[in-house]
A and B are shown apart, each in its own frame.
Chain A
Amino acid sequence: MKKVSKVLLGVTVLMLSAALCACGGGKKNESSETANSSSTETTHEGFIFGMTQEVTSVDPHMDTDAATRGVLFNVFEGLVKATPEGDVKPAVASEYTVSDDATVYTFTVRDGITFHDGNAVTPEDIKYSLERSAEIDGESSALSAISDIAIPDDKTVVLTLSAPDSEFIYNLTIAILEQANDANQGTAPVGTGPFAIKELKEGQYLDLVKYDGYWDAAALGDYIPSARFKFISDAQTAFMELKGGSIDALQYLTSDQINTLGDEYNVVEATMMLVHGLFLNNQYEPLQDARVRQALNYAIDRDQINEMMFGGKSQLIQTHGYPTITAWYNADTESTYTHDVDKAKELLAEAGYEGGFDLEITVPSSYTQHVQTAEIIADQFSQIGVNVTLNQVEWSSWLEDVYRGRNYQATVIGFDISSLSPATWYKRYYSTSSNDMTNFSNADYDAAYEAALATIDHEEKHSLYGQMQQILAEQGASVFIEDPADFIAINSKYTGYTTYPVSAIDLSLVKVAQ
């Protein structure tokens, strides 16, 4: 035994000394590193907004997802910009006129407006920006409707459309960039917004700094001088950070989370501006029959989903529409279906599916909200004999197979409001449209859509869009569920945060509380 203890001692000493050496080395590094870092970079002081989705690109014409659009709203502006009420107001242009036939749009460039580098905005910059965006998006760009961009004098831009379009103004929120900066649009773009980009650290944060020369600075008053968007991919982690105080604001909280927050947070209740639902491939055998789709609409218990997922705070819908945008929403559709299992069974039987059928729901696995909704739906549909299997796929597979390939039976997803123009929302169900993901096809609907595009009369448009929503609901185009509740918590050190119907996290309204 004595031998063993000697060995023991020897080895232990050896190993320990090795470990200590390693520790010592680490220590030394530490001090030099901190010395370095304190001189070059400090942790951000000021407003920090937590983002569960990452901003990967700062080129506003390349922007792809709601998160990026929301963040870049602070940096770039179009000829017009969105308002919290769901309309647009002049931005880079100080005013505009639309010809009576809705084909000629004339803009006056705002006096004294400058880019973040101090250069004045010229009509050439506007022409350049619109052309650049149209080129990037290709033929299906909304801007491809422009047949001519004229610059009659150094204050005016005239857009001529190839066909009348009274909604065209909604497409002109596209960012105006500086032509002289052409080579750097992807890396260091300059805009005209209330904040300028200071630094994007990929995967970590995007820092913004207040632009003192902002044209509307006087009206906005004393808003926060700088802000950081911090990327935290995990929602639970982000919430912990909010509670721990390392971020000041966070969106997409759940009702359970809100209940655990104390007085030091103000909670803004809004909706996600998302048409969330179970979208059905109308070409899939059982779902070709409208009665089957209606049966699913009767079988679903929207209240239960709302209760489970959003604490009952969501806006339930039964058509593709955004209830908060009252200008276009048809509230009458809300009473099309009730939760009625017997009625659903009856309809299934009529359609020849007495025993139910198999339904595969494809969901993008990275979105917990969609996956959980699909799980609840699976349970609800089992009551009418529809045997649901879940197929979780990666987001990129979803885009390719489901969205582009339309190779699916049903999917849970949400459509955000990428543009304020209702024509872009309802194009999704137009028979020959390239983004008619559900393969929905209805002659009445198509006729109404064409009529809505052609008319420039607001009343008529309203009624036509209303009809279309009614058709979508009655035909059970898909199982539309809700516009989910969105809870945004903001540290009460700050005030003024306001939500928009479009993706916009407007920090120019945020002020330090007195």
Chain B
Amino acid sequence: MRRFLSKIPWNYNLLIGGIITGVILLFTVIGQFWTPYSITNMNSMLKNKAPSIMHIMGTDNFGRDVFSRIMNGCGTTFFVAICTVLIGCLCGIIIGALTGYFGGLLDEVIMRVNDVMLSFPSVLLVLIFISFLGKGKYKIIWALGVMFIPSFARIVRSEVIRYKNQEFVKSAQVMGAGSFRIIFIHILPNTAVSMLTAAAIGFNNAVLAEASMSYLGLGVQPPEPSLGRMLSEAQAYIFTAPWYAISPGIVIVLIILGFSMISEGLREMGTK
């Protein structure tokens, strides 16, 4: 482990980003198994208490410990973001690779559909999805995942088009390799770097999207905690219990900051 870590050419962004993300991940993982207080038990005596040694981020309008709920809620947020990116990425790769490689009418049609989806207000798209499917954690994952497909598909498509006419592909074709073999064995591995970057950005967008959707009441349902949901519930108490809104907000900021610093750091590493 030490040798592995020491091999990475650390830079400022990577280091700070790694530390921020690492700490949050640590608390999140712990939060899935153990939290200082119950995340659902309510207590009217502890309503809206300011941060103290007992409750370092205070308590909410039901007397629940905000810190405990954040520890657990981060898990929901990460889970939704990761699944969303996975769905978007996998479907995007398949659609992008096929349309990019084969082109023709299919390409034209799918790219038009892509255009439509990209120009459709994303919140509206999610709203329609949710009206069909109902609300909830898994539904928001599908809704957001589908929403993320076009942007991934677009990136993969242009990458595939770029490599399609290069020598190594042509020679593989001459050697009689099938189309799918060429796409998945020869072309796609070359796009790994740009896909990783896209996935990192996608992850950040997904965290933001989950938070916004839950903020509008469309995402994760109570009593399960999620950062966006907590923020929206807390807004009503911003003047009486500001800590309740500020804590989950800051955690969202830290998650996004951590990841964008890591991706920035990776980019720097690549250019050096």
When A and B assemble into the complex, do they touch directly, with CB atoms less than 8 Å apart?
yes
Query: In whole angstroms, how far apart are the Cα atoms of A390 and B225 in the complex?
Result: 13
Name A's interface SS: helix
CB–CB A391/B42 < 8 A: no
- Which residue of B is nearest A374, CB measured? B222
Residue of B nearest to A389 (CB): B221
Whether A392 contacts B135 by the Cβ 8 Å rule is yes
Contact between A308 and B222 (Cβ–Cβ < 8 Å)?
Answer: no
Give the distance in Å from the alpha carbon of A241 to the alpha carbon of B121 in the complex. 32
* Complex Cα spacing A394 to B48, Å: 28
A379 within 8 A of B: yes
Question: Is A368 close to B, CB under 8 A?
Answer: yes
B240 CB–A CB distance under 8 Å = yes
Given A391-B135, A391-B221, A382 and B40 contact (CB-CB distance below 8 Å): yes
CA distance A260 to B240 in the complex (A): 9
Among B48, B235, B236, the one with the most A-chain Cβ atoms within 10 Å of its Cβ is B236
CB distance from B149 to the nearest CB of A (A): 26
Interface of B is mostly: loop
Chain B nearest CB from A514 CB (Å) reads 33
Beta-carbon nearest neighbor of B42 in chain A: A379
B41 near A: Cβ within 8 Å? Answer: yes
Please tell me if B166 contacts chain A, counting CB pairs below 8 Å: no
Chain B residue numbers with a CB within 8 Å of A260 are 240
Within 8 A of A (CB), among B31-56: 40-42, 44, 47-48
Question: Does A376 belong to the interface (CB within 8 Å)?
Answer: yes
With A304-B44, A308-B44, A392-B217 known as contacts, the answer to whether A375 contacts B223 (CB < 8 A) is yes
**Interface flag for A371 (CB, 8 Å):** yes
Bound form: Cα–Cα A457–B48 in Å: 52
Instruction: Give how many B residues have a beta carbon under 8 Å from the other chain's beta carbons.
Output: 22
Q: Which of these, B41, B48, B223, B236, contacts A390 with CB under 8 Å?
A: B223
Does A30 touch B at the CB level, under 8 Å?
A: no
**Contact A375/B222 with A307-B44, A308-B42, A308-B44 known, Cβ cut-off 8 Å:** yes
CA distance A260 to B237 in the complex (A): 13
Supposing A236-B235, A365-B217, A392-B217 touch, asked if A379 and B44 sit within 8 A by C-beta, the answer is no
Are B62 and A308 closer than 8 Å at their CB atoms?
yes
Residues B44 and A378 in contact, CB atoms below 8 Å apart: no
A392 and B42 within 8 A (CB): no
Q: Quick check: B62 and A375 within 8 Å, CB to CB?
A: yes
Chain B positions 132 through 143: 1 when the CB is less than 8 Å from some CB of chain A, otherwise 0: 001110000000
Establish whether residues A392 and B62, one from each chain, have CB atoms under 8 Å apart when the complex forms.
Answer: no
How far, in whole Å, are A375 and B61 apart by their CA atoms in the complex?
11
How long is the Cα–Cα vector from A392 to B239 in the complex, in angstroms? 26
| Nearest-neighbor residue (CB-CB) of A378 within chain B | B223
Chain B contacts of A374 at CB under 8 A?
Answer: 222
Q: Are B240 and A379 in contact (CB under 8 A)?
A: no
- List chain A residues, Cβ under 8 A from B41: 379
Q: How far is the CA of A376 from the CA of B222 in the complex (A)?
A: 10
Q: Quick one: CB contact mask for B58-88 with A, threshold 8 Å, 1 for yes?
A: 0001110000000000000000000000000
Q: Which residue from B47, B135, B223, B235 sits with its C-beta under 8 Å from A379?
A: B223
**CB contact list, B222-272 vs A, under 8 A:** 222-223, 235-236, 238-240
Which residues of chain B in 105-163 are interfacial with respect to chain A, using CB atoms and an 8 Å cutoff? 131, 134-136
Q: A212 interface residue, CB < 8 Å from B?
A: no
How many angstroms between the C-alpha atoms of A308 and B41 in the bound complex?
13
Q: Counting CB contacts under 8 A, is A354 at the interface?
A: no
A331-371 vs B, CB cutoff 8 Å, 1 = contact: the mask equals 00000000000000000000000000000000001001001
In the bound complex, CA of A392 to CA of B61 (Å): 19
Does A256 count as interface, using CB distance less than 8 angstroms? yes
- A120 CB to nearest B CB, Å: 50
Which A residue sits closest to B64, measured CB to CB? A379
Contacts of B135 in A (CB 8 A): 365, 391-393
Q: Inside 8 A of A394's CB, which chain B residues have their CB?
A: 131
- How many whole Å from A306's CB to the nearest CB in chain B? 9
A residues near B (Cβ < 8 Å) are 235-236, 240, 256, 260, 304, 307-308, 365, 368, 371-372, 374-376, 378-379, 382, 389-394, 397
Besides A376-B62, A379-B62, 8 new A-B residue pairs in contact (Cβ under 8 A), listed by A number: A235-B236, A236-B235, A236-B236, A256-B240, A308-B61, A308-B62, A376-B42, A391-B136
For this complex, 27 residue pairs linking A to B, each with C-beta atoms less than 8 Å apart, are A235-B236, A236-B235, A240-B239, A256-B48, A256-B240, A260-B240, A304-B42, A304-B44, A308-B42, A308-B47, A308-B61, A308-B62, A371-B222, A375-B222, A375-B223, A376-B62, A378-B40, A378-B222, A378-B223, A379-B40, A382-B40, A390-B222, A390-B223, A391-B134, A391-B135, A392-B217, A392-B221
- 3 A-B pairs closest in CB distance: A307-B44, A236-B236, A308-B44
